[in-house]
Structure 1
Amino acid sequence: MEQSPLTQQARPESFQPKIVKLYETLFKDDEDADKSEGFWREFFLLRPDPANLLDILADLSADDLLQLQAQIRQLLRQAVSFVRAGVAPSDEIALDTLTALLSGVLNKKYTNPSSDVIVVLAGLDQADAVFTEFVNALDHIIRNGRHLDLRQKAIEVALSMTSGAYHTGLLSYFTHRDLFPSLMKYIQESDNTVRILRPFTLLGLLANYNKFEFQNPYRLRLDDFVNENIIRKIIKSIGQTSSLSRDRYIAVQDDLPEGWNLYSTLTFFGLGGLAPGAKPPAPAPNPEAAKAQFAAL
């Protein structure tokens, strides 16, 4: 029997998602930084892997990102372009990618935070055009996105930018484009209180940005806001979030003093073993274990 020309290759120990390979290709320090249209079309059709993208960015220093500025700028521009196009699922993938990208880029310690971040993300000469388009695209999705999940993703992108670049000049683009009506519309149309926390957190960050240096438009909006229905929804969301946070904290480390009972009284005198059916309280976790559990919340 004639031998088959096909050869069997060894099965790899683990399969790498195609999108991860594209991440690695994108962030290679090579001269050919400009990727083809086909590359980006495939990039924003594959299921994103934010954890892997964050891992890749975590291994890069601030100086490394400055060296890779061409790739990062192109990724940001392409992602915003796909968001503006509004074609599923590419716009959702682009929003998830933007959230991870901004989180990974903005948490670095730069020598000159404001200018270095602008250089990495857009370039000093293109900053106004890029960030204005970026904020406009988010505003449109938050206000008119085709479903709440998509609008929530846009809010998460805005949160990544706002929280990461809070002490830079980038937030001025959010004050030039008033997101308040879009955020209020989203809160009003939210189907549960859990969704309200993130837009309200974003609003709080924006309302406190340079509030003593100029008339913050978000702060002025809040001072004049009288929609009782939305206010009630926000209050309910804050209450439920606070209660949930407290329950999760207590589940890790209940630091309330234990009330007196038969077991604790006998234990005080060294007779805890005599208490009928009593079980000693669960030991408190050590500081390192508690820290890890709190981080996982």
Structure 2
Amino acid sequence: MTSKPSVVLPKDKLLRKGSHSKMALKEKIVQIYEALFRGEDPSTGNQNFWDEFFLLRVNAQYLENEIEKLNGEQVQALKETINSMIYHSIETLKDEHPIRAVNAMHTISALIHAIFQKSSSDHGFDIINVLIGFDIAEAQMQILIERLNQLLTSDRPLSLKSAALSVLMVLITAKENVSQNMMLEYVMINSVFESVVQILGNPESRSSHGHDAILLLTLLVQYRKYESANPYIVKLSILDDELALHGFAQIVSSLLTDFNRQYRQSTAQPEGGFFASLTNMVGSMFVAEEKKTEAMKANDAVLLALYEAIHLNRNFITTLTQSHTPSTPTTPPSSPASHRSGPDLNSPNNLPSDAKPDLATLTDSANQPTNLLVTFLEYCSIVMQDIKDVTRFNNAKLCLIILTIIAEDQYANSLMHDVNMNYRVPLHKMPMRHRKVTVDMKPASRPLASALLDLIVEFTQSHMMKNIPLELYLRSLGIAHRILCYQKKCRVRLQYPWKELWTALINLLKFVMSNESHLLKKHDIFHLSSQMVNIFNLFITFGDTFLPNPSSYDELYYEIIRMHQVFDNLYSMALRYTTTEGQWKESAVKLTNTLVNVRAIINHFSPKVDSWAAANSLSSLTEDQVLEVVRSNYDTLTLKLQENLDQYERYSEKPKEASFFTQMVRQVISDYRKSYGVTGPKSALQELPS
């Protein structure tokens, strides 16, 4: 045998001696890799070498392991070999033979992944030069992306499209900081946007590759988004292809629906009595939390995609309320990332007997019309229950940011308040000491704004803890404020039990005051309190324009008078901090100013209620009697006209949230990279026709 073996090797050369003199099989492709890595050229004297090479199944793990063993100088020495492998892989994509094309793409993916992994150790070599070569990099990347686009948009086997998406995903996720991946400059110049849009608009492609397509687009949008013009941001912001936009929404909706369904099934009341319940509870204590966190990590990418679509593209708002009947579970995404979601819990037959939901409930809910916003609100009600670890906190924060953008949009608000667009939104509640956890799977059909307000009320009531999630509270109160501003502006009278919101706000004020000394060590509770009081001020000043009826306005005054001690104590607390120089003085002064009308109401009506009770020889008054005093004394009440109550700072990602999204993107990429395995080539080849 010569020092430069050809691809056609005798059978006896496929075997090598292993331990204990046993014969172990060595793959032909591994022998060729070994020759290439020794600097040999197996194609010498064999003009069909590369055609035959790409008929052999890629051993990505071996390639990556061998490159990992090399030092920086050795990687540089292999530059010509790696350049040649990439060059011939790209050339092979012209081939109509699907096996060759798939193996060529998996070779590219494996080499990109391995070289980037090696470069992360800072071995001092240039990735582009080692992979492709400076002199031909631009031309080769143009050809590569053109051919990937052709595969994604042509009528070719799904496995070829999967491999093409895999190349792009491996390239885009090669570095955890996407903006430092200079190879993406070539993807900025040679766009894949149109191919992704075509996948989203095609039902067959969407069902197989929709998850990867929206993740691909979402990550491309992140590239140097704060530093330079990103063409994908521009193209996504002006996309008006209804099929693609609805396809995008359906993918997100399906993935979130799967999460909601899995949660419902996991919390369904088990059968079999007390001992079965106890066994189920104890078992779930050890596995449920970890599974839930992993599922939420998987949904970070989905939420990020939804965020970018809503944030950048106003046309996407219409898809939020596009009504449809819940579909059957979607085909799992083709990327390795999809395997994190665990066993299929979509079919009741695959569930353990103690977790099967009531069939009538499933059947009824399956027949109810729904939309992406309904699904998203239910998802929010699940993930916002427990926010103790970083993953869950960030997931809940992203949900609230998305809801903030929706609440700021005039058209979205008009849809949410449309009395002719009513939906049943099942909202899940956090278990608490004073209440049993019950989820109404057949809630009343109402405008979506009511469900959103219910979500905000529930969050307000259920997160009063010493480690208070102040940032999330400010976000949730901001959403309620934006909804009220829309109602005031457009004079929309939503039929909603507003007393629930007022009670939640008063309870939160009481909690803040009872934990004043502890909370002030870390948080500006005066700013939080001002946000709550200003919501009351909106009702006081403009409530007659959007409350459902005059009785609701009377009830507002009744609640303020009834709970006057809370507001009196709040004013006293703020006043204490205005008289001394300190960190919170300015915020405390603002809070005292926001309380002026609330205090005016209390100071005006309380004496009148007391005098009416004395005149009628009553020690306590009923609600109706207090309301009668209120109605009789409106004329003599003087209130101060407060400015800018219906104004708010519109959401802007930069600069306040830039670091949050940078970290979120890094986490999504990190999760994808961890899931990247060596099973892709095998599964893709098995899908090909023989």
Shift of 1:204: 1.2
- Give 1:193's aligned residue: 207
The answer as to whether partners of 2:98 and 2:160 remain within 8 angstroms in 1 is: no
Structure 1 vs Structure 2 CA RMSD:
3.9
Shift of 1:291: 11
Shift of 1:196: 0.5
- 2:241 is aligned with 1:231: no
**2:166 alignment partner, SS class:** helix
- Give 1:169's aligned residue: 182
- 2:106 is aligned with 1:92: no
Q: How does 1:8-19 map to 2 (within 5 A)?
A: 12-19=22-29
Shift of 1:180: 1.1
**Counterparts in 2 of 1:177 and 1:112: CA distance versus 1, 3 Å:** farther
**Counterparts in 2 of 1:276 and 1:40: CA distance versus 1, 3 Å:** closer
- 2:213 is aligned with 1:211: no
- Give 2:158's aligned residue: 148
Q: Distance in 1 between matches of 2:165 and 2:61?
A: 19
**Structure 1, 174-183 or 115-124: larger mean CA deviation:** 115-124
Q: Distance in 2 between matches of 1:119 and 1:187?
A: 34
- 2:286 is aligned with 1:284: yes
- 2:118 is aligned with 1:105: no
- Give 1:181's aligned residue: 194
**2:134 alignment partner, SS class:** coil
Q: 2:216 aligns with which of 184, 189, 202?
A: 202
Shift of 1:112: 7.7
The one-letter amino acid of 1:197's match is H
Q: Point out 4+ residue stretches in structure 1 off by more than 6 angstroms.
A: 245-251, 287-296
Shift of 1:64: 3.4
The answer as to whether partners of 2:71 and 2:123 remain within 8 angstroms in 1 is: no
Q: Distance in 2 between matches of 1:250 and 1:119?
A: 52
The answer as to whether partners of 2:72 and 2:123 remain within 8 angstroms in 1 is: no
The one-letter amino acid of 2:223's match is Y
Shift of 1:82: 0.2
- Give 1:271's aligned residue: none
**Counterparts in 2 of 1:278 and 1:148: CA distance versus 1, 3 Å:** closer
Bigger radius of gyration, 1 or 2? 2
Q: Distance in 1 between matches of 2:103 and 2:198?
A: 23
- Give 2:235's aligned residue: 221
**Counterparts in 2 of 1:249 and 1:138: CA distance versus 1, 3 Å:** farther
Give me the identity figure in percent. 21
Q: 2:56 aligns with which of 46, 53, 57?
A: 46
Shift of 1:178: 1.8
Q: Distance in 2 between matches of 1:193 and 1:16?
A: 38
Q: How does 1:269-280 map to 2 (within 5 A)?
A: 276=275, 279-280=278-279
TM-score (norm 2): 0.35
Q: Distance in 1 between matches of 2:64 and 2:115?
A: 9
Residues paired across the two proteins, number? 271
**2:63 alignment partner, SS class:** helix
Q: Distance in 1 between matches of 2:155 and 2:183?
A: 24
**Counterparts in 2 of 1:190 and 1:67: CA distance versus 1, 3 Å:** farther
Q: Distance in 2 between matches of 1:133 and 1:218?
A: 20
Can you give the 5+ residue segments of structure 2 that lack an aligned partner in the other structure?
Answer: 1-11, 298-336, 341-690
- 2:134 is aligned with 1:120: no
Q: Distance in 2 between matches of 1:276 and 1:106?
A: 53
Shift of 1:288: 11
- Give 1:267's aligned residue: none
Q: Distance in 2 between matches of 1:40 and 1:119?
A: 22
**Counterparts in 2 of 1:277 and 1:178: CA distance versus 1, 3 Å:** closer
**Counterparts in 2 of 1:143 and 1:110: CA distance versus 1, 3 Å:** farther
